Copies of this chain bind each other. A is one copy, B any other.
Amino acid sequence: MDKLSSLCFLIVSIVTVLLVSRLWFPIFVNLPPEDMNDEKQSFEKHISLMSKAPHHPLDPLTVQEINKVRDILSSYEPFSNSFPTIHSLALEEPDKSLVLSWEFGNPLPPRRAAVIGILYEQVHVLSVDLELHRVIRHTANPTSGYPMITMEELLSALDVALANSNVQKSIHARGVKLKDVRFLSPSPGWFGKEEEGRRIVKLQFYSIQGTSNYYMRPIEGLTVTVDLNKQEVVKVADTGKGIPIPRSTNTEYQYNGETEPPEIKKINPISIEQPKGPSFTVENGYIVKWGNWEFHIKPDQRAGMVISRAMLYVPYMDFDEHWYFKTYMDAGEYGLGLLSTSLVPLNDCPRNSYYMDAGRGEARQKVTLVARMVSTVGNYDYIIDWEFQTDGLIRVEVGLSGMLMIKATPNEYAVNKDNEGFEPLVSENAIGVVHDHYITFYLDMDVDGVNNSFVNIDLVKEEQVDNKSPKSTPRKSIYKPYKKVAKMEDEAKIILSLVDPSEFHVVNPSKLSRLGNPSGYKIVPTATAASLLDLDDPPQIRSAFTNNQIWVTPYKKNEQWAGGFLTYQGRGDDTLATWSQRNRPIENRDIVLWYTLGFHHVPCQEDFPVMPTVSSSFDLKPVNFFDRNPILRAAPASVDDLPVCNARSSLNF
């Protein structure tokens, strides 16, 4: 047990909590300074936004609509005796064709809610039509797995655990008072028969004594399994006796002013200014317009931030050039509910982002719009940026920060032997557990229309065979790009390789440029990671979507979550990998591109007591989508455009 528990996927290191209330928009970074530090105001703004009538088919449910759903469910006959716990209640998006054909001014397509509830251990998945005022679809237990547990369930499970005398004894034996106990509930995953049929939670404990950063002080080797239905302790695994709780020294991360000598010299304040204001507007709450971009952005309980109908207008082109994709961040792979965290203004977000691009003899500023979301999932922070550039490029960047998952060890000093596996010691008695992160992006690409193809551009070595010909040269080898259209899903299951490189294009084979090149976008990976686990290991069966970095599937409304619709304790029977086994046709169809960004994390001392942000990204980049470089007709910036600034402190504000 020891050896195997020392290394784990993120799957066992996160709290799965579902909070609707804390989802609001970091895109409002240009609030006047008065509002900036006021999280409450920001929340109220969001609530007032939620009170307005919907303006767009993809606008989230309003407070009024949510109340209406509750009314409908209250009088729904199957729930007349007992009402289910509601685990999720959100807009059920209209069919894609309705969204695509809808125009401003049209009436909205019928508003529907997707609801997931639990009643007597049964999972109920419902579709509620707000106009018909009734449940129009109801399925029980569609697949294995459960929805994410609620905060209420989690807290009551904690009460059950801490009321257990064995648990109390174990905690006291470690010298920890019950009032100092804090916890995490790593999702239990699925590991075969033993726990099937029971909805459970596994609790692990920490001591907050002497620090606010209790994640650094694990009570090692104590895991309590609670049955959520029966509200009883199923198992107390206590194998950590004698392992000390790592000390609290140096675990604080809050700035403590002048009490300690600064480690880093003071750097003069720096600020990004737009004296004429921002160039983007947010219309009707959810439509963002900036430069030639327009998109719909909404908070999502599971994905965090959903960007839909992203369109790039190119006024000088002949035909109506636009494209669309809906971008879900599938955090559901591990049962994560990505929680939006309010951003600390002026620290998390600059007033605007600023990047530079060089031309020749003359240059253009590269100014980009960033839609940023920060989700705190237990001890971890995920920072997800969607960066839209004027040249049509979209950069998606994921940053990881927060607290390490710490494992306590009797060792105060690292064992550092060559040619041996090791567990990184990041502080006295504290091991930073090695782990991976995988973030899968659902990219519903519609390049210049709905029907697209996925094209591998393989770079293939060619040798000069006939070196006796009069036309031959002393060169022995070159490489050439080869175009291979993926006809079936299996031809689009991509494992990236440095020595066998390809480009990956999504093109519209019916939209050719004046030169005959199909209009396209390519996905450009940078650093990523692949899972090292056995394919038949239960965690890998559940996260089999990491078996490839890229997958392409035909668009299906109900295939949105790479890890399956119900991931909590799910068995991997409803995932991207299982859908894709059918090897369906994908050529010249409505297709979805899936990209998985991975990280291996071998912790080091610098990750203690809080990690510096580690990030990686991928790009979506136009290829033959424009007739030529589109930034050329943008005016270069001049000195006169720029503001004159005074230190704020010198003014009475």
Bound complex: CA A212 to CA B303 (Å)? 49
Q: Is A81 part of the contact surface with B, judged by Cβ < 8 Å?
A: no
A252 to chain B, nearest CB (A): 8
Q: Which chain B positions have C-beta within 8 A of A485?
A: 418
Q: Which chain B positions have C-beta within 8 A of A643?
A: 269, 271, 273, 645-648
Q: Is A132 part of the contact surface with B, judged by Cβ < 8 Å?
A: no
Q: List A501-525 residues whose CB lies under 8 Å from chain B.
A: 501, 503, 513, 515-518, 524-525
Interface bits A329-369 vs B (CB < 8 Å: 1, else 0): 00000000000000111111110101011111111111100
A5, A349, A434, A479: most-surrounded residue (chain B CB, <10 A): A479
Cβ-closest chain B residue relative to A400: B358
Q: Which chain B positions have C-beta within 8 A of A383?
A: 358
Bound complex: CA A538 to CA B342 (Å)? 58
Interface bits A300-324 vs B (CB < 8 Å: 1, else 0): 0000000000000011100000000
CB of A360 within 8 A of CB of B478, answer no
CB of A612 within 8 A of CB of B633, answer no
Q: Is A530 part of the contact surface with B, judged by Cβ < 8 Å?
A: yes
Take A350-B356, A364-B347, A644-B651 as given contacts and tell me if A610 and B636 are in contact as well, using a CB distance cutoff of 8 Å. no
Cβ-closest chain B residue relative to A469: B1
Q: Is A534 part of the contact surface with B, judged by Cβ < 8 Å?
A: yes
Choose from B349, B357, B628 the contact partner of A608 (Cβ within 8 Å): B628
Q: Which of A70-78, A153-161, A275-283 contacts B (4 or more CB under 8 A)?
A: A275-283
Q: Is A21 part of the contact surface with B, judged by Cβ < 8 Å?
A: no
CB of B515 within 8 A of CB of A428, answer yes
Q: Which chain B positions have C-beta within 8 A of A141?
A: none
CB of A517 within 8 A of CB of B416, answer yes
Bound complex: CA A359 to CA B254 (Å)? 9
Q: Which chain B positions have C-beta within 8 A of A475?
A: 4, 191, 537-539
Q: Which chain B positions have C-beta within 8 A of A459?
A: 434, 532, 600, 602
Q: How many copies does the complex hold?
A: 2
Interface bits A259-280 vs B (CB < 8 Å: 1, else 0): 0111111111111111111110
A618 to chain B, nearest CB (A): 9
Q: Which chain B positions have C-beta within 8 A of A390?
A: 264, 267
CB of A639 within 8 A of CB of B33, answer yes
A400 to chain B, nearest CB (A): 10
Q: Which chain B positions have C-beta within 8 A of A4?
A: 464, 472-473, 475, 478
Choose from B403, B532, B622 the contact partner of A479 (Cβ within 8 Å): B532
Choose from B7, B276, B291, B649 the contact partner of A264 (Cβ within 8 Å): B291
Q: Is A20 part of the contact surface with B, judged by Cβ < 8 Å?
A: no
Q: Is A625 part of the contact surface with B, judged by Cβ < 8 Å?
A: yes
Bound complex: CA A246 to CA B406 (Å)? 63
Choose from B274, B367, B480, B629 the contact partner of A606 (Cβ within 8 Å): B629
Choose from B361, B363, B376, B616 the contact partner of A360 (Cβ within 8 Å): B376
CB of B636 within 8 A of CB of A344, answer yes
Choose from B426, B606, B631 the contact partner of A625 (Cβ within 8 Å): B606
Q: Is A102 part of the contact surface with B, judged by Cβ < 8 Å?
A: no
A451 to chain B, nearest CB (A): 17
What are 22 A-B contacts with C-beta separation under 8 Å? Answer: A7-B480, A33-B639, A191-B474, A253-B632, A255-B635, A262-B634, A265-B279, A268-B274, A270-B367, A272-B273, A273-B645, A347-B365, A348-B356, A348-B358, A413-B515, A418-B485, A479-B533, A495-B499, A497-B497, A501-B529, A641-B648, A643-B646
Top 9 nearest A-B pairs by Cβ distance? A269-B641, A421-B480, A191-B474, A643-B645, A347-B363, A414-B516, A476-B537, A477-B534, A526-B527
